[in-house]
């Protein structure tokens, strides 16, 4: 296959996951990934700075989708619905084959400190982008921070549940379930705090 073969990024992702799963992350080279994908190493480095970034190639698109969901939400929505708009947009940006990819990626992340560190950075980037977009809409830094943390936690927990599920629920369904649960927890905590202060 030539180096201009369509979907080079997707082919590199599949090749990287296969080789990392078979040989381990440290033992797999960028040249091996490129060859397994039927591409040249030059093509790989045209798309990615290193082999690690192949696995995190969708980060910018996910961040942009989350921010767009908040920016484009109606002006009169409540704060809880505002963060839901961002998280729903984030979920909708995922490709259809995410579940299968995730099942292969999770063991790699668990076994590789370098990948876990990069995954933590990805989560932080999503959270910070959500917080900034929420702050711009709400004008309240503390509220924006709490909502962003809650939304990202719901997203990751919903994603983990969906990935291991039987396929009957969508990713948005699972994440929405977690988000509703967290909103309920916050409401109960608020009521408990009010009662403590009044007693």
Per-residue pLDDT reduced to its tens digit, 71-108 = 999 999 999 999 999 999 999 988 767 788 888 888 99
Find out whether 64 and 85 touch, Cβ atoms under 8 Å. no
**Mean pLDDT for the chain?**
91
Instruction: Look at residue 137 and give its three-state secondary structure.
Output: helix
Structure pTM? 0.87
Question: CA angle, corner 153, sides to 77 and 178, nearest 5?
Answer: 70
Task: Report the phi/psi class of residue 198: left, alpha or beta, with left for phi > 0 and alpha for psi in -120 to 50.
Answer: alpha
| Surface-to-core class of residue 162, CB atoms within 10 Å of its CB (0-12 exposed, 13-18 middle, 19+ buried) | buried
What's the chain's length in residues? Answer: 199
pLDDT at 167: 77
Please say whether the structural domain 8-53 has been given the CATH code 1.10.10.60: yes
Instruction: Delimit the domains of the chain by residue range.
Output: 8-53, 79-198
Rounded to whole angstroms, the Cα distance separating 85 from 69 reads 5
pLDDT at 96: 67
Fold for domain 79-198?
Tetracycline Repressor; domain 2 (1.10.357)
Give residue-wise pLDDT tens across range 15-57: 999 999 999 999 999 999 999 999 999 999 999 999 999 999 9
Do the two domains 8-53 and 79-198 of this chain adopt the same fold? no
Task: Kindly tell me the burial class for residue 154, based on how many C-beta atoms sit within 10 Å of its own C-beta (0-12, 13-18, 19 or more).
Answer: buried
Strands (E), 106-195: none
């Amino acid at each position: 296959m030539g180096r201009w073969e369509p979907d080079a990024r997707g082919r590199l992702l599949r090749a990287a996951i296969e080789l990392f799963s078979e040989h381990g992350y440290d033992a797999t080279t960028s040249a091996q990934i490129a060859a397994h994908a039927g591409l040249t190493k030059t093509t790989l480095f045209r798309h990615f700075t290193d082999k690690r970034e192949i696995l995190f190639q969708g980060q910018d698109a996910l961040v942009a989708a989350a921010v767009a969901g908040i920016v484009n939400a109606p002006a009169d929505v409540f704060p809880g619905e505002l963060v839901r708009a961002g998280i729903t947009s984030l979920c909708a940006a995922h490709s259809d084959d995410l579940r299968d990819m995730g099942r292969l990626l999770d063991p790699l992340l668990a076994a590789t400190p370098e990948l876990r560190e990069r995954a933590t950075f990805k989560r932080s980037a999503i959270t910070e982008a959500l917080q900034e977009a929420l702050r711009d809409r709400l004008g309240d830094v503390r509220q924006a921070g709490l909502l962003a943390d809650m939304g990202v936690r719901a997203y990751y927990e919903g994603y983990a549940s969906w990935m291991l599920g039987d396929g009957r629920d969508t990713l948005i369904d699972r994440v929405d379930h977690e988000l509703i649960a967290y909103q309920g927890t916050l409401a109960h905590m608020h009521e408990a705090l009010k009662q403590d202060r009044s007693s």
